[in-house]
Structure 1
Amino acid sequence: MQNLLQSGGLTELRDTRNGSYGAKLFFLAQDMLFYVALSQDDRWWRVVKTQDQGRAEAIYAQFSRKSFELVDGEIRRMQLAAQKALLERVIVKSAERANRLSADLALA
């Protein structure tokens, strides 16, 4: 499929992106073939070839749902990283305030 893409033989019919995951439906007109692909970071890791348009559409829908499900882990990691960074900033500000209060108490 990669060679067909590079040569321009495939026509992209559908494309779904969810984070780093994606699903695509291609058509090879000269052979009346459909290619359905599931990818991560633009690397194909599941490809199905069929002449049946209905089957191709069904597989594409399945791969689209799968990309939606797979990205949940990425989204959760991003949220947790942002939450961790926020908490670290709050801790730093709280420590600075505690130091200022301690200094004020020492002066008083």
Structure 2
Amino acid sequence: MNSMIRSAVARGLRMPLVTLALIALSGGVQAAQPPQAHTSDVTAAQGDAAGSTVSYLRELMDSHQLTELRTTYNGTYGASLLFQADKLTYFVALFHDKAFWRVIRTDSEKDADSIYRTFAAQTEKLAQVDIDALRLQAGKKYAEQMVALNEQRLSTLRQDAARRQQQAQQVAALQQQARQQAVSLSSDLRATSNQLTTVQQNIRQLEAQQDNPELILPTSAADVPADGAPVAGTASTPAAQSGDGVSH
């Protein structure tokens, strides 16, 4: 197809722009593939006519002679419908990373809209891989962040568990010490209680003696018979003995 266009241009024939656009569309739009090299390489592969269209479009844009009617973006791919008002000419461009990939020029509004829709649909298909990759990359990054957060959480929980275990061991040691102390205190309490009982018994005996109105005198050695039993009615105190020896 490109050879036909170049041949027509070389012979100086002026073919209608719509015809040129349709020839280029039939030979190129359906076969449009993602660029395998730089835009300049792809443009060169499309022939001189396509290359001149791209250059001409750039000149018109630099001189602000075009009006942007429609533009579709899908990822890094896009399609634009541009209008040259002073010549009633339409330019339909397919671009990647804001660099023109394909440009078709036509005088027909209907053809321009059709080509634009075709290019727009192509950008959607071409960008799907990039969009999927972007989503997968974002999902991977999010998963990595979640892994890092959960690892940090796991580390914190492990530290807390270690502290709880250490505290439990300390509490167990204190409990054992307290039990041993309780046993010792229980033994001490029994001994003290026994001592208290003895002291209280002695107190009660002394109180009973103090409260007894009968006079009980101690016995002397002379009044104590050989068998050790005191003689009844005999004073045993030194004072009593001294009283008996006084002459009246």
Shorter-chain TM range is: 0.7 to 0.9
Query: What SS does structure 2 have at the residue aligned with 1:62?
Result: helix
Alignment CA distance shift 1:103-1:39 (3 Å): same
| 1:100 and 2:162 correspond | no
Superposition map of 1:61-80 within 5 A: 61-80=117-136
Looking at structure 2, the residues matched to 67 and 88 of structure 1 have their Cα atoms a distance apart, in angstroms, of 31
The Cα of 1:105 is off from its aligned counterpart by 4.1
Looking at structure 1, the residues matched to 149 and 83 of structure 2 have their Cα atoms a distance apart, in angstroms, of 57
The Cα of 1:6 is off from its aligned counterpart by 1.0
Looking at structure 1, the residues matched to 76 and 133 of structure 2 have their Cα atoms a distance apart, in angstroms, of 13
Superposition map of 1:22-37 within 5 A: 22-37=78-93
Looking at structure 2, the residues matched to 19 and 38 of structure 1 have their Cα atoms a distance apart, in angstroms, of 13
Out of 78, 102, 105, the position equivalent to 1:46 is: 102
The Cα of 1:24 is off from its aligned counterpart by 0.9
Out of 90, 93, 111, the position equivalent to 1:55 is: 111
Report the counterpart of residue 18 of structure 1 in structure 2.
Answer: 74
- Where structure 2 has 5 or more consecutive residues not aligned to the other structure, the ranges are 1-56, 166-248
Looking at structure 1, the residues matched to 149 and 88 of structure 2 have their Cα atoms a distance apart, in angstroms, of 64
The Cα of 1:47 is off from its aligned counterpart by 0.4
Report the counterpart of residue 22 of structure 2 in structure 1.
Answer: none
Of structures 1 and 2, the one with the larger relative CO (CA 8 A, separation 6+) is 1
Query: What SS does structure 2 have at the residue aligned with 1:86?
Result: helix
- Where structure 1 has 5 or more consecutive residues not aligned to the other structure, the ranges are none
One-letter code aligned to 1:90: M
Q: Identity percentage over the alignment?
A: 35
Query: What SS does structure 2 have at the residue aligned with 1:9?
Result: coil
TM-score (norm 1): 0.85
One-letter code aligned to 2:150: S
Query: What SS does structure 2 have at the residue aligned with 1:64?
Result: helix
TM-score (norm 2): 0.40
One-letter code aligned to 1:96: Q
Indicate the structure with greater strand content: 1
Report the counterpart of residue 230 of structure 2 in structure 1.
Answer: none
Number of residue pairs aligned between Structure 1 and Structure 2: 108
